[in-house]
Chains A and B, each alone.
Chain A
Amino acid sequence: MNRKYIAVTGTLMVLVFACSRKLPGDNVQTDAGIFAGFQQPGNFPVPVYHFETNPVTKEGFELGRKLFYEPRLSRNSTISCGSCHIQSSAFTQHGHDVSHGIDDRLGSRNAPPIMNLAWSPLLMWDGGIFDLDLQPVAPITSHEEMDETVANVVSKLQALPQYRVLFKKAFGTEQINTGNLMKALSQFMVMCVSSRAKYDSVMRKEGNAAFTPEEAAGRKLVSEKCGGCHREPLFTDGTFRNNGIGIGANDDQGRFAVTLRPEDRYLFKVPSLRNLAYTAPYMHDGRFYTLEAVLDHYSTGIKDTPNLDPLLPAGGIALTAGERKEILAFLNTLNDRAFITDKRLAEQ
C-alpha cells in the first residue's frame, strides 16, 4: 500500500478503461428527429474522452447546452461560457487577443475553440487540465473570467425549479452537485464536433467532393511542412511545442507552469488548423490577426527561443508566393460552416 501501488493501480485503471472502451454512437439511431448521441466521424480516430463514465444522452446534452449559455455561472450573472466561446467564431472569442471576462477584466490567453475536445487528452494551452469534466472549475473560479465559486453556482441552480427538473431528467436526481454539473457541461462540449468541412467530405468520399488542384497542392505542402505538428485529421497531434513565435510580453512560459520541467518552458499546445477563418486572432496570446501574418512568421519570423522545436528549420520554412496561396486555399477547406451554424449547438 505505497505510492507505487497507487500509481500502478491508476495506470491499470486507465488501461482497463482503454481496453473496455465501447465506441460511443455505435448503435444509436440516426433517423431524423431521434437524438443520435455522440458520433465518431468516419475519418476520425477513436475519441479519448471517457464516455464510459459519462454517456451522452439527449437530456444531458440539452442541460449541458443550457448551462453553457447560463450567465448565472458567473458572480454577477453577466458572463456565460458562451460569452468567450462564441459559436459563430467556432466557439472562440473572435476579435479578442486575450479573453475578456467579468467586470471587463482581461485574461492572459486567447480563448481556444470548443471543438473536437473528445479527442483532446489535455486541455488549456499548457495542458494543465487532464479531464474535460474538471475544466469548468477553472473559468468559474477564475478572477478574470467568472469570479464565482462552484458551490455557489450549485446553490443558485438548485434554487431554480426548472434546473431541478432538468437535472432529474438527465441524471435521475434533483440534487445538483459538482459532479453532475460538470458532466452535463462535458456532454455539451464533446458534441461540439467539427467534421463537416469540405476536407472531411473529400476524405469520406461523399458525393463527388474533390479538392481543386490548388487545394490539393496546398494539402501536400501542409502535410510536409506543418503536418509534423498539425496532423490530419484533427490538425493537431495534441503535443506541446515551441513554434518560435518568441516570448510574449508577460513571459507566459506555457507548459512549464504545469510540469516545472525546464525542457517544457515556452511550450504550448499545438492548436488545430480547423475553422481558422472564424477564429482570428491566432496563437496563445492572439498576437497574429491574419493568416498572412502566421505564414510570415513561419517563413521568416521564427525566433530562436529556449526549446524551439527541432521540426522548425532555423531559417524558417521557405515558401514561395504560389505556395502560400496553395496553403491558404487548402486551409480554407478546413472551415466548417455547418459546425458554426449548427442549431443544436446554439443557445436555444
Chain B
Amino acid sequence: MFLLSGIILLTACSKTPVEPNYDQHALAPLSVEFDNIVGGQKLVLNTGTYTNALGQPYTIQLLQYFISNIQVKKADGTTYAVNPDSSYFLIRQDDPASKFARVKVPEGNYTSLTFTVGVDSLRSTMDISKRTGVLDPGAGGHDGMYWGWNSGYIFFKMEGTAPDAPADPTGQHKFRYHIGGFGGYNAPTINNIKVITVDLTARGMAQVRKDRAANIHLMVDVSKALNGTTNVNFATNPQVMFSDYSMNIANNYATMFVHDHTEN
C-alpha cells in the first residue's frame, strides 16, 4: 500500500521526463570520489596546519559527512535516481575507502550529478529496522553521526584544534562543528539539508558502460566550511551544534564541491 502510494506520488510530482523501468541487474558501475583538501593543500589529519580566512591557525582531527540520494542527468534532460536503499554514504577522512560513493546507474553519458549533503527527512524518520549500515543510529562512539537526545543525524562533523579556541575543561583548545537538522519532525526547525548539483560538461562527462568504471572526481575544499559568506571565528564560535548559527556553516560548506575531472 505504501509502495503503491509512493509510486503514484513519484510520478505525480516528478517534473523531469519519466524514466523507463530499468533492469536493476543490467546497471553499470559509477563512483563519485570525494577528495577532501584544505585550500590548495592536502588534508592531513592531526598534523597538517592550516589558516582560516580570519588568519587563525588550526588543525583538523576528524572530518566526516553524509552524502545521499545520488542522481545523474543526461544531456537530453533525463535523470536517473539511484535506488534510495543503496544511496547513503558516510565519507570519513580517516578511512580512505570511504571516499568513494559507489552506485549503479544505466549505461549512458551523464552531464550532471546531483546529491544531498546530509540525510533527507524521510530516511531520518523511517522505522529503525530500515536504518542500517552508516544510517544505524547506534553506530559509532564519539565519532558517531547521530544525536540521541534530539533524534536526527549529524550531517557534517569537523573537529580539530585552534589556539584561538578557548580551552575546554580538559585544557584543550578544540573546535567542534556538528551540523545537522532535517527540518523537524512535527514542529518546523532548522533545515540544513543541502542538495548539490555539479555540472560535468566542462571537466568531462561520465561515460558509464558496463565494462568500465567511470569515476567522477570531486575536489572538496573543506576550508570552505569555515570561510565564505560567514567567516567562522574559533574564538567566538568554538562549538557549533544544533543552533541557528549552524546554518551559516551549512551554507558555507554547500559551496565546497568542485568537479575536477572524470576517469572513464
Contact = CB atoms under 8 A, between A and B. Distances in A.
Given A128-B150, A257-B150, A182 B185 contact: no
B213 interface: no
A178 B137 contact: yes
Contact of B138 (A5, A150, A259, A260): A150
B13 A5 contact: yes
Main secondary structure of the interface of B (DSSP, over half): loop
A13 B2 contact: yes
Interface stretch (B3-11, B51-59, B105-113, B226-234): B3-11
Contacts of A141: 144, 148
Contacts of A4: 13
Contact of B129 (A6, A138, A183): A183
Contact of B244 (A2, A9, A131, A260): A260
Given A149-B141, A150-B138, A258 B121 contact: no
B243 A6 contact: no
B14 A177 contact: no
Interface stretch (B24-32, B42-50, B186-194): B186-194
A122 B187 CA distance: 11
B86 interface: no
Nearest to A128: B150
A10 B121 contact: yes
B82 to A, nearest CB: 11
Contacts of B185: 122, 130
A137 B137 contact: yes
B233 to A, nearest CB: 21
Chain A, interface residues (CB within 8 Å), range: 35 or more
Contact of B1 (A2, A20, A259): A20
A12 interface: yes
Contacts of A154: 138
Interface string B126-147: 0111011000111111001010
A1 to B, nearest CB: 6
B125 A130 contact: yes
B242 interface: yes
B189 A142 contact: no
A264 interface: yes
Contacts of A5: 9-10, 13-14
Contacts of B128: 131, 133-134, 178-179, 182-183
Interface in A160-197: 177-183
Contact of A2 (B137, B195, B242): B195
B83 interface: no
Contact of A12 (B9, B121, B149): B9
Contacts, number: 134
Interface residues of B, number: 48
Contacts of B148: 129, 134, 137-138, 140-142
A321 interface: no
B151 interface: yes
Given A3-B121, A5-B13, A130 B186 contact: yes
Contact of B136 (A20, A53, A131, A177): A177
Contacts of A16: 1-2, 5
A261 interface: yes
A181 B131 CA distance: 13
Contacts of B120: 3, 6
Contacts of B16: 1
Nearest to A141: B148
Contacts of A183: 128-129
Contact of B151 (A6, A53, A131, A264): A131
Nearest to B14: A1
A294 interface: no
Interface in A1-48: 1-10, 12-13, 16-17, 20
Nearest to A52: B127
A50 interface: yes
A277 interface: no
A6 B121 contact: yes
A133 B14 contact: no
B184 interface: yes
Contacts of A128: 149-151
B97 interface: no
For B120, B137, B139, which residue has the most chain A Cβ atoms within 10 angstroms? Answer: B137
A331 B184 CA distance: 35
A151 interface: yes
A291 interface: no
B211 to A, nearest CB: 29
Contact of B132 (A7, A179, A261): A179
Contacts of A149: 138, 140-141, 144
B81 interface: yes
A124 interface: yes
Contacts of B36: none
A336 B110 CA distance: 66
16 contacts: A1-B16, A1-B69, A3-B195, A4-B13, A9-B9, A12-B9, A17-B2, A122-B185, A131-B128, A134-B128, A151-B138, A151-B141, A153-B138, A178-B138, A257-B150, A259-B188
CB-based closest 7 A-B pairs: A150-B138, A178-B138, A138-B148, A137-B148, A128-B150, A130-B185, A179-B129
Given A5-B13, A177-B136, 6 more contacts: A3-B183, A10-B121, A12-B5, A53-B127, A151-B139, A178-B136
